[in-house]
Chains A and B, each alone.
Chain A
Amino acid sequence: MMEREFDVNPTRSKSTGLPRKRFYRARAHSNPLSDSHFPVPIAPSQVDYPSHYPEIFSPLDRVDGLRKIEFADIGCGFGGLLISLATLFPETLMIGMELRDKVTEYVKERILALRTGNPGQYQNISVVRTNSMKYIPNYFEKGQLKKMFFLFPDPHFKEKNHRRRVISPHLLDEYAYALAVGGIIYTITDVEELGEWMKSCLESHPMFEALTVQELEDDPVVKLLSTATEEGQKVARNGGQTYQAVYRRISGPIH
């Protein structure tokens, strides 16, 4: 699935071996509601860990009892965050979820190139093409994730398109399900209105609470939010402001 003839691939730069972004140009925005055709694992136990993390899992390994994915970058785009996190948390398995086919292919190639160029490294990150708004429960068991990232998600300005936003009151229920108690959800955007929306969704949700200022300062990941991804770098170059909301999953109301 991830192998490809490396040297003869014209979509790669000869000097660095890294895939060239221009060969993977894609539509700027995807509509998460439209019907797409990509395979979806029936259940988290069916996620093909050996193909995502071949150096960590042998093809015969079963998922149960072994390490599981703990970080998910939702709408990972070109994968900058995953690449930064890979070396910061070398023992943690992470996955990027991306709806656009070509972008996903680009990230795959990028990870493969990094693995080849840095033996033993970047084995803990992978990417999958999927619609995160529909298939989170197919990938992660209850309480499996420690961190979820939503960096510079598509804004969907119009009121009637708000249901396409990746952060919404109802989708937060699913994220709360996938996150372990104590797990953290990171969001950032350069669109003020969206920033307010994400914050207010998280604020009103009974299973999330905001991190304190101190906690934000102490968390090394927070610094990456505005710097690690391609979108973040673009915003920074243009001197744009960013709005972040970082919340912790807390246990639900007692019944």
Chain B
Amino acid sequence: MEDTNIDDSGDKIREKEIAPALIAVHPTHQSVAVAVGSDLRVFNIQEGCAVTLVDENDVAERKPSTNLHKDSIRAIRYGANGKLFVSAGDDKLVKIWATDSWHCISTVESEKRVSAVALSSDGSFVCYADKFGVVYVVDTEGFSGKQTSNNKKGTPILSHYCSIITSLEFSPDGRFIISADRDFKIRVTVFPKNPLDGAHEIQSFCLGHTEFVSCLAFVCSQDYPQGLLVSGSGDSTVRMWDFISGSLLDTCVVGNEAGFLESDGKEDECLPAVTDLCATNDGSLVAVALQSFPGIILLSCNICARSLSVLQVISISEEAFIPTSLGSASIEQFLWMVMGVSSLRSSDSISLARVRVLSGFCKSSIATVEYKASILDDKDIPGGESILQKLQGTLSIQKQVFSSAAEAVKTAMRNLLIKKQYSADKREYRKRGRNDRKNKHR
């Protein structure tokens, strides 16, 4: 564990990190949200209009509500029933939004920066993880349309000992909460009836990844509603787990499939990290985003046979589109992808977000003979060009912004996911800067 996440003194010498853009899709495809840096953008697909977010807290402070978050957003998520939406990040705020009015109904203050969020299946609990590996719960009961008096504090329920939690998921039946961390671990914990008393019972650990775990997703079918867990990692694999027992069922080395790995530097010689996963509703397909691969890899997932295999590699190279985040609705067959970063160092523009959509994100359509995975043209995507105007902030993105963004995206993902290896010097320096060593006991 590097010291950055441990010692508050470390924060001061931490260089400002760039945050990859995130995307989330309403479960019934009513809206799509994109987060770039501290900016949260939502578009209502049903009504074909951009959403204005209202945060009473901000109004009270008489601040223009352009930036509801004050620092990079690290996690966004809709609840399973679509009623609530949660955003959280480096400003240590967890904002809970009602998706009918897009009012912020609660702001939870975290002690540390927030790295992941999840909502329980019935929407009654919001969980978030901080950079120290602690998972907190807030119960959403009694939240009214107005934010006043809704500002609860999170209760810690479980902890990964000082390892950043990269992903937090509830099992499809809501019985378990699954947390993944940078120390190769996936922990499956029983989510108790009253989580405010803590989540003490560990069901299993899913151990097998040899690098940080970056993302989790569930695949479930009608025949197997409890589902299986899939996880992506810095070891360039996607693994399938029986999360009840913790046993590893299958491993798919997706990095090999990306084929044309760039050979520009030694660092990239290792296989690229998996950055995000998105499964179809029937659990038959899993889309995989890779750290430096322009495009998407579709895995075929056989729940009965408990196997994963590469079905199709879809490259989006004409634009060097390297997705940083994926999302889909449970009812529509679209895979939403965003590529983007906050504050590009190398260019003048503040941030970049590019949204693309893959249609036919479902196994049956891919199985048909003449099926060609189709990345939709901008004018054809749900919501059309006005959705792009909102989510991207602009319709046209200059080529050079793109290429410098591609570089920044790589760096951002690397910074986010790979443990920093400090040189011996720097390590010593950091040690000296810490006051816990200055006065020893005994």
Give the B-binding residues of A (Cβ under 8 A).
28-29, 31, 33-35, 42-44, 133-134, 137-138, 142, 155, 157-158, 161, 163, 169-174, 176-177, 205-207, 252-253, 255
Q: Which chain B residues numbered 394 to 442 have a C-beta less than 8 Å away from chain A?
A: 419, 422, 427, 431, 436-437, 440-442
CA–CA, A133 and B184, complex, Å: 15
Q: How far is the CB of A191 from chain B (nearest CB, A)?
A: 9
B202, A177: Cβ atoms under 8 Å? yes
Majority SS at the chain A contact face: loop
Majority SS at the chain B contact face: loop
CA–CA, A161 and B435, complex, Å: 12
Q: Which B residue sits closest to A160, measured CB to CB? A: B436
Give the A-binding residues of B (Cβ under 8 A).
1-3, 6, 132, 134, 156, 158-159, 161-163, 175, 183-185, 187, 189-190, 192-193, 197-202, 204-205, 207-210, 246, 419, 422, 427, 431, 436-437, 440-442
List 7 A-B pairs, minimum CB-CB distance, nearest first: A170-B159, A43-B207, A177-B202, A252-B201, A137-B205, A133-B161, A173-B200
CA–CA, A206 and B190, complex, Å: 13
Contact of A207 among B200, B205, B208, B437 (CB under 8 A): B200
A134, B162: Cβ atoms under 8 Å? yes
Q: How far is the CB of A40 from chain B (nearest CB, A)?
A: 8
Provided the pairs A33-B1, A35-B1 are in contact, do residues A206 and B200 lie with their beta carbons within 8 angstroms?
Answer: yes
A207, B159: Cβ atoms under 8 Å? no
B159, A42: Cβ atoms under 8 Å? no
B200, A252: Cβ atoms under 8 Å? yes
CA–CA, A137 and B160, complex, Å: 11
Q: How far is the CB of B181 from chain A (nearest CB, A)?
A: 10
B161, A171: Cβ atoms under 8 Å? yes
B202, A176: Cβ atoms under 8 Å? yes
CA–CA, A158 and B204, complex, Å: 33
A134, B1: Cβ atoms under 8 Å? yes
In the complex, chain B residues whose CB is within 8 Å of the CB of A207: 200-201
Q: How far is the CB of A182 from chain B (nearest CB, A)?
A: 16
Q: Which B residue sits closest to A168, measured CB to CB? A: B159
In the complex, chain A residues whose CB is within 8 Å of the CB of B198: 169, 173
In the complex, chain A residues whose CB is within 8 Å of the CB of B197: 206
Q: How far is the CB of B80 from chain A (nearest CB, A)?
A: 20
CA–CA, A252 and B207, complex, Å: 23
In the complex, chain B residues whose CB is within 8 Å of the CB of A31: 436-437
B201, A34: Cβ atoms under 8 Å? no
Q: Which A residue sits closest to B198, measured CB to CB? A: A169
Contact of B201 among A134, A169, A253 (CB under 8 A): A253
CA–CA, A28 and B437, complex, Å: 12
In the complex, chain B residues whose CB is within 8 Å of the CB of A169: 198
Q: How far is the CB of A179 from chain B (nearest CB, A)?
A: 11
